[in-house]
């Protein structure tokens, strides 16, 4: 097979799994435009609105646990097919919800699908990607999340004047991307690493030959086989050197990525813009600009993540986000918290996250875990990030209206600064290393052979 055909096949596999990111972004953000109408429909308080938004996120926490437990038994592909079906069913259930309890229940169940795909799609991308393309394909997953958000913002705006049931139509549209995702996953193969894990080495070899060519495929199968012999996949394996360090790093990053506020900006953008003096139509239109900015700057990440490494991008992005949030605080003090100023600062914040943080987080976390522990270990950072996400989204309306803008944005800025400092001091560079090399690299870091600040990917 020619190099171009191999590259095209890898891109197809990466993009197939990344379509899960589109559903991720769509389900997360479709409630953004529906929020003002849900408040009227169900007469929601600040905490009630927070629960309407965060119920999906608490479901995500459970969904990633279930997916993490079942993926090594049923496989990455079969789990992704089940998740696609769950996405479609819960889109219909949410749209038809007769009351607030039914709505929250449907959103919680949808969260099971989002949580599952947030663990499995990055894992699938990591396990089918050659080391030299893994960063860019991981960025494709983040880009798909942004596309899902952008589509949901556009639909929110287009459906805003379709009557009292406009929010129901917003949620119902989720059936279409669910069906597309199911079709593409059905065509794609299982990952070679899972196939070796299940003793299907001939099938794994066939997939790797299409990915890497005949020359490299045999050596890769042997490398995967050797890595799986290191330890049986049990909870005790999480304590061994290298894995335990990776686990601590991933969990702390998972907390900080949401405590620095990205999902509050995505979910509550209309409320933030309305507080800056915009009317509802203008606020919804501005969310589309937010989504478009996120998409364009995710493209920037696509070109730089494998060139400059994961760690430098994470540091730059964290400090840039902090500066934008500090700018919002300054606008409050200067009595200039108005439409254009707020929009410019929000777009700056989004630009730094989209080009530096989002793609790197979902690329780096699967990379730092060894083959035999990835499915189990990934449960912890993914579960943590969903719990952190849910808590921030639940409490943001109350904090924004009761504690005030200064305290709210100040907390988010402090977390962004903490994220940058932690990455600088503790997170190793993972670029240009095969998945089989990463565990020995982290073991060397634990023993003092590599400093956390080392960014070399060679």
pLDDT at position 170, please?
Answer: 93
Provide the domain limits for residue 136. 3-188+230-446
Structural domain includes residue 210? no
pLDDT at position 458, please?
Answer: 37
Number of domains in the chain: 1
User: What's the rounded Cα separation, in Å, for the pair 170 and 401?
Assistant: 27
Q: Taking residues 245-253, report their average pLDDT.
A: 90
pLDDT at position 452, please?
Answer: 45
pLDDT by residue (tens digit) across 299-313?
888 777 777 778 899
pLDDT by residue (tens digit) across 161-182?
888 889 999 999 999 999 999 9
Structural domain includes residue 211? no
What is the CATH number for 132?
1.20.1250.20
pLDDT of residue 377 exceeding 90, the answer is no
pLDDT of residue 275 exceeding 90, the answer is no
Number of Cβ within 10 Å of residue 173's Cβ equals: 18
Between 26 and 234, the higher pLDDT residue: 26
Structural domain includes residue 194? no
Structural domain includes residue 452? no
User: Among 100-109, 147-156, 347-356, which stretch is predicted with the lowest mean pLDDT?
Assistant: 147-156
User: Which H or E element spans position 278?
Assistant: none
Residue reference for tokens 């045999």: 218
Helices marked H in 229-378: 243-259, 262-267, 269-275, 280-308, 310-333, 339-352, 358-367, 374-377
> What Cα–Cα distance (Å) separates residue 324 from each residue in 276, 403, 446?
16, 20, 35
CA-CA-CA-CA torsion sign (433, 439, 444, 448): positive
Average per-residue pLDDT for the chain = 84
- Which pair of structure tokens corresponds to residue 265? 């900006």
User: What's the rounded Cα separation, in Å, for the pair 168 and 170?
Assistant: 5
The pLDDT-based confidence of 371 (bands split at 50, 70, 90) is low
Structural domain includes residue 373? yes
Structural domain includes residue 21? yes
pLDDT by residue (tens digit) across 92-112?
999 999 999 999 999 999 999
Structural domain includes residue 122? yes
Between 127 and 422, the higher pLDDT residue: 422
Between 244 and 387, the higher pLDDT residue: 387
- Percent of the chain at pLDDT > 70 equals 88
Structural domain includes residue 150? yes
């Amino acid at each position: 097979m020619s190099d171009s055909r191999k590259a095209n096949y890898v891109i197809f596999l990466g993009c197939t799994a990344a379509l899960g990111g589109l559903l991720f972004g769509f389900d997360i953000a479709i409630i953004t435009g529906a929020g003002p109408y849900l408040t009227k429909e169900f007469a929601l308080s600040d905490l009630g609105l927070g629960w309407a938004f965060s119920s999906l996120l608490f479901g995500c926490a459970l969904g990633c646990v279930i997916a993490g437990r079942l993926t090594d038994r049923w496989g990455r592909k079969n789990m992704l097919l089940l998740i696609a079906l769950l996405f479609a069913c819960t889109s219909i259930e949410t749209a038809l919800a007769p009351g607030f309890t039914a709505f929250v229940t449907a959103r919680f169940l949808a969260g099971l699908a989002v949580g599952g795909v947030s663990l499995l799609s990055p894992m699938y991308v990591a396990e089918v990607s050659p080391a030299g393309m893994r960063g860019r394909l991981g960025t494709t997953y983040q880009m798909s999340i942004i596309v899902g958000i952008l589509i949901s913002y556009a639909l929110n705006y287009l459906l805003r004047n379709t009557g009292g049931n406009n929010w129901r139509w917003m949620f119902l549209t989720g059936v279409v991307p669910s069906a597309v995702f199911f079709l593409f996953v059905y065509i794609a193969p299982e990952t070679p690493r899972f196939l070796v894990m299940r003793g299907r080495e001939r099938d794994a070899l066939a997939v790797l030959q299409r990915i890497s060519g005949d020359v490299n495929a045999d050596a890769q199968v042997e490398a995967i086989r050797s890595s799986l012999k290191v330890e049986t996949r049990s909870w005790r394996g999480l304590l061994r050197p290298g894995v335990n360090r990776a686990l601590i790093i991933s969990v702390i990053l998972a907390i900080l990525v949401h405590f620095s506020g990205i999902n509050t900006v995505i979910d509550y953008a209309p409320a933030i813009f309305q507080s800056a003096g915009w009317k509802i139509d203008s606020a919804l239109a501005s969310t589309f600009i937010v989504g478009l900015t996120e998409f364009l700057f995710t493209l920037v990440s696509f070109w730089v993540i494998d060139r400059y490494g994961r760690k430098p991008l994470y540091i730059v992005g964290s400090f840039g986000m902090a500066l934008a949030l500090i700018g919002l605080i300054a606008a409050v003090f200067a009595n200039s918290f108005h439409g254009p100023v707020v929009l410019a600062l929000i777009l700056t914040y989004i630009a730094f996250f989209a080009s530096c943080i989002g793609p790197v987080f979902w690329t780096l976390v699967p990379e730092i875990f060894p083959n035999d522990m990835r499915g189990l270990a990934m449960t912890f950072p993914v579960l943590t990030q969903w719990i952190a996400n849910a808590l921030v989204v639940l409490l943001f309306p109350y904090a924004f209206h009761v504690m005030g803008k200064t305290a709210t944005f100040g907390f988010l800025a402090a977390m962004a600064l903490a994220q940058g400092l932690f990455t600088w001091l503790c997170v190793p560079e993972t670029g240009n290393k095969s998945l089989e090399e990463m565990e020995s690299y982290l073991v060397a870091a634990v023993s003092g052979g590599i400093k956390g600040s080392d960014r070399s990917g060679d």
